[in-house]
Amino acid sequence: MRVNDRHYRTVWHIDTDPETIWIIDQRHLPFEFVEEPLRNVVDVAEAISDMHVRGAGCIGATAGYGMYLAVAEALRKDEFDVSLHASSKLLINTRPTAVNLAWAVETQLEAISKTQDLKEKKNIALQTAKRIANEDVEACAAIGQNGLPLIKQIAKKKSGEVVNILTHCNAGWLAFVDYGSATAPIYAAHDSGIPVHVWVDETRPRNQGARLTAWELAGHGVPHTVISDNAGGFLMQTGQVDLVITGTDRTTHTGDVANKIGTYLKALAAFDNDVPFYVALPSSTFDWQIKDGLRQVPIEQRCSCEVTQISGLVGNKEQTVQIIPDGSPAANPAFDITPGRLITGLITERGICRSSEKGIRSLFPERFNAA
Ligand code: MRU
């Protein structure tokens, strides 16, 4: 997407500076736009765990490039395999919930194992990192085209009146390499002239909606309004939401969706009010192994400081303030599980399906045949 008249991805590599990976350091948005170089595996691991980059596709692609730096580092060590193994563990352990991270590391390990020539391993790792990033971009672009008819149909039913779409957290281009998942159909609709308006859940505690989704939509000229997380139910009851689209960090092949905390409550409200509730994802976000989201998806428990404090702009400087009494404990589960029965459909790069084993099988039969 464009920022200051330049096309950006969230993570990139420049061939003339071969052992550096570049990212947008998302911690500073929307107040400052900062590009950050990552020069080794520890830099990459810190960037993921401290959320300089975040969002399932983006951390997957960043980990993919991290594995390329891991191979470069391992080549300088006596024990190539020991070093590579330690780096892959370091990267996989940075964040537990989004499955794209482990998927990208495993994709790299498999690709790298195809040759015994150590120098060739480095070349393969770079090509694989680029492929992971490019496939993420292609999948998100396809999700945009596959989700577009949903918005078109609603616009037609409303005789061209504005289509109101609610989204949670940031499943925009910042959460991927480009386009985003939940936002891709919205950008496609806006670009094709359909009048859309987005209700942006602020998404406490880290406010990825208020900080990142609002910044993204504003940058693309998409009309939007930031709302408190608690407003969505009322807006649905009063007919002000035509469609909900969220992203996901991991979806079981049986259709349970792990996404940013608060998604489940939005799905319940949508179900009760007959508002279509879609989840958009590239196939790299499916977990083909596990069946039971609630019992088997590891839910990240983040620092309680994200609940006890809040950050914002004071004058022209970002500051953090405490918002609860001294000594009150706080808890911070970062993701929740929405069962497939509350979801109208999944929007994937191959099309739309029900959020059930049968529905997912209809789009990705080869995954089930292999199991
Ligand atoms: O904690 P984050 O910001 O990495 O969480 C990811 C998210 O932004 C959302 O849950 C998103 O909908 C899924 S990632 C495409």
CA of 2 to the centre of ligand 1 (A): 21
CA of 231 to the centre of ligand 1 (A): 20
pLDDT reported for residue 5: 85
pLDDT reported for residue 363: 98
CA of 338 to the centre of ligand 1 (A): 14
d(CA 19, CA 154) in angstroms, rounded, equals 48
pLDDT reported for residue 1: 84
88 Cβ below 6 A of ligand 1: no
- CATH number of the domain where residue 328 is located: 3.40.50.10470
Q: Which domain, by its residues, includes 96?
A: 2-135
- CATH number of the domain where residue 27 is located: 1.20.120.420
248 Cβ below 6 A of ligand 1: yes
Q: How confident is the model at residue 4 (pLDDT cuts 50, 70, 90)?
A: confident
CA of 113 to the centre of ligand 1 (A): 31
Residues 189, 219 within the same domain:
yes
On the 0-12 / 13-18 / 19+ scale of CB atoms within 10 A, 362 is middle
Query: Could you read off the pLDDT of 112-151 as tens digits, one per residue?
Result: 999 999 999 999 999 999 999 999 999 999 999 999 999 9
Residues 24, 169 within the same domain:
no
Q: How many domains does the structure of the chain reveal?
A: 2
Last residue of a domain, one of 115, 135, 155: 135
Query: Could you read off the pLDDT of 23-35 as tens digits, one per residue?
Result: 999 999 999 999 9
Nearest alpha carbon, ligand 1 atom 5: 55
Atom of ligand 1 nearest to the CA of 59: 4
338 Cβ below 6 A of ligand 1: no
Last residue of a domain, one of 135, 170, 193: 135
pLDDT reported for residue 206: 97
129 Cβ below 6 A of ligand 1: no
Nearest alpha carbon, ligand 1 atom 15: 171
CA of 272 to the centre of ligand 1 (A): 25
Q: Is the pLDDT of residue 371 over 60?
A: no
User: Which residues, in sequence order, are CB contacts of 238 under 8 Å at separation 6+?
Assistant: none
pLDDT reported for residue 370: 59
In whole numbers, what is the pLDDT of the chain averaged over residues?
97
Residues 240, 351 within the same domain:
yes
Active site residue 229: no
Last residue of a domain, one of 135, 156, 172: 135
Strands 21-24 and 224-227 turn out to be unpaired
Catalytic one of 43, 249, 256, 336: 249
**Which residue type occupies 155?**
A
Residues 245, 327 within the same domain:
yes
Query: Could you read off the pLDDT of 142-200 as tens digits, one per residue?
Result: 999 999 999 999 999 999 999 999 999 999 999 999 999 999 999 999 999 999 999 99
**Which residue type occupies 293?**
G
167 Cβ below 6 A of ligand 1: no
Long-range CB contacts (< 8 A, 24+ apart) of 130-134?
Answer: 130/13, 132/60, 132/61, 132/64, 132/104, 132/107, 132/108, 133/9, 133/11, 133/12, 133/61, 133/64, 133/65, 133/177, 134/177
Residues 175, 299 within the same domain:
yes
| pTM higher than 0.95 | yes
Residues 168, 119 within the same domain:
no
Query: Could you read off the pLDDT of 333-369 as tens digits, one per residue?
Result: 999 999 999 999 999 999 999 999 999 999 999 999 7
